[in-house]
């Protein structure tokens, strides 16, 4: 056994020595980035509160048009049907298989029961006035939603569905539990940004903090529609907590993209987080690229149309997309 252990250790040492010069430099740069981010966090001043517009569509009464009223009631009926069946057959699971009538989870949410459907539906339930269902979801989140699990998740999907869902529920209801959970989860996603460039990995393990990219992505790249669709949630995290680390992460991504040369003025869908170079020069306004452009426009709108940097990036991108 001792000999076997020695042989195993020797093999591991040999594997480490096989690392290329670029890989070693990348790991060194990653460690430097961690130190820089910690120093920035200590020196940064808290951000001012974000001005929030009045919420609409919650207490607006019944529509005068009977046809609109009928359609609205039908939509609420469909929502309640979906919720009730999830509640009966898949409660606590990330998704429901409606034909099989059992809980299910895809690899984007890892292998743990994190109640993705519950979190993602909260704001819709509240706006529709389904407050009993909303309270059911809140109770489950308060007692069961745990981010210390050994589970590998998609940074993008967890951001838009969990952090986005929790922040929306907080703004609508004012219940502190949603803000607390959103901040806890955001802390679990931050290790994904520990790359030589600051461009996050696509996946991160919530317990270990180890990140990686999809095996199918060009040249080990991160995906434009994923690392480019974090801005709104992360900006609000900084406004709510006074901690600029979240804001700094997404603004760093924006600044990096602004400095890079773009083939024909277009944003390719793939960017290598180790080298900072584009992968395959493939551009899309559908999958792999779509929500990057969406978030540029939404960042401008969210800022009360003051974020002209985001608006210019959007306008410039759309102009060359139309040309090509």
Q: In this structure, are 201 and 265 located in the same domain? A: yes
Q: Do residue 110 and residue 175 come from a single domain? A: no
Count Cβ atoms within 10 A of the Cβ of residue 161 and give its class: 0-12 exposed, 13-18 middle, 19 or more buried: buried
Task: Please report, for the chain, how many H helices and E strands are present, in that order.
Answer: 13, 7
Residue 37 lies in a domain: no
Say how many domains are in the chain. Answer: 2
287 and 320 belong to one structural domain? yes
Q: Supply the CATH number for residue 189's domain.
A: 1.50.10.10
Helix (H) / strand (E) containing 320: helix 308-323
- Domain limit, last residue, from 146, 167, 189: 146
Q: What is the pLDDT along the chain (324 residues), one digit of tens a residue?
A: 566 666 666 666 566 555 555 565 556 555 555 554 554 555 554 454 455 555 544 666 788 899 999 999 999 999 999 999 999 999 999 999 999 999 998 889 888 899 999 999 999 999 999 999 999 999 999 999 999 999 999 999 999 999 999 999 999 999 999 999 999 999 999 999 999 999 999 999 999 999 999 999 998 999 999 999 999 999 999 999 999 999 999 999 999 999 999 999 999 999 999 999 999 999 999 999 999 999 999 999 999 899 999 999 999 999 999 999
Domain annotation covers residue 43: no
- Considering only CA atoms, which of 123, 129, 133 is closest in space to residue 167? 123
Residues 124 and 214 in one domain: no
DSSP E strands, the chain: 95-97, 102-104, 152-154, 203-205, 211-212, 222-223, 270-271
What pLDDT shows up at residue 157?
97
Q: What SS3 class is residue 284?
A: coil
Residue at token pair 């559908």: 286
Please indicate, yes or no, whether residues 211 and 293 belong to a single structural domain of this protein. Answer: yes
Picking from 146, 163, 195, the residue at the C-terminal end of a domain is 146
Is 133 inside any structural domain? yes
Q: Where in the sequence is the domain holding 103, given as residue range(s)?
A: 56-146
User: Do 124 and 159 fall within a single domain?
Assistant: no
In this structure, are 292 and 196 located in the same domain? yes
Q: Which of 105, 123, 146 is the last residue of a domain?
A: 146
Residue pair 141/120 in contact (Cβ under 8 Å)? The answer is no
Whether residue 95 sits in one domain with residue 169: no
Domain match, 142 and 189 both: no
């Amino acid at each position: 056994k001792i000999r076997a252990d020695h042989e195993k250790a020797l093999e591991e040492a040999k594997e480490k020595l096989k690392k290329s010069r670029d890989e070693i430099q990348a790991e060194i740069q990653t460690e430097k980035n961690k130190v820089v981010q910690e120093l920035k966090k200590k020196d940064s001043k808290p951000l001012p509160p974000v001005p929030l517009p009045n919420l609409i569509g919650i207490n607006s009464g019944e529509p005068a048009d009977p046809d609109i009223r009928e359609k609205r009631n039908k939509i609420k009926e469909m929502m309640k049907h979906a919720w009730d069946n999830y509640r009966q057959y898949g409660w606590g699971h990330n998704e429901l298989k409606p034909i099989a009538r059992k809980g299910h989870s895809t690899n984007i949410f890892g292998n743990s029961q994190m109640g993705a459907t519950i979190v993602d539906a909260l704001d819709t339930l509240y706006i529709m006035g389904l407050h009993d269902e909303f309270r059911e979801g809140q109770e489950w989140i308060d007692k069961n939603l745990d981010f210390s699990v050994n589970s590998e998740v998609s940074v993008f999907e967890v951001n838009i569905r969990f952090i986005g869902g929790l922040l929306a529920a907080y703004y609508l209801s004012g219940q502190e539990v949603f803000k607390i959970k959103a901040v806890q989860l955001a802390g679990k996603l931050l290790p994904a940004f520990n790359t030589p460039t600051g461009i996050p990995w696509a996946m991160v393990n919530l317990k270990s903090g180890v990140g990686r990219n999809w095996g199918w992505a060009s040249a080990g790249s991160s995906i434009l529609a994923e690392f480019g669709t974090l801005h709104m949630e992360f900006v609000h995290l900084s406004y709510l907590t006074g901690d600029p680390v979240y804001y700094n992460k997404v603004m760093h991504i924006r600044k990096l993209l602004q400095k890079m040369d773009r083939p024909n003025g277009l944003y390719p869908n793939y960017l290598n987080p180790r080298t900072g170079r584009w992968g395959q020069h493939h551009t899309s306004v559908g999958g792999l690229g779509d929500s990057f452009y969406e978030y540029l426009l939404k960042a401008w709108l969210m800022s009360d149309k003051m974020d002209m940097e985001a608006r210019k990036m959007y306008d410039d991108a759309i102009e060359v997309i139309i040309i090509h």
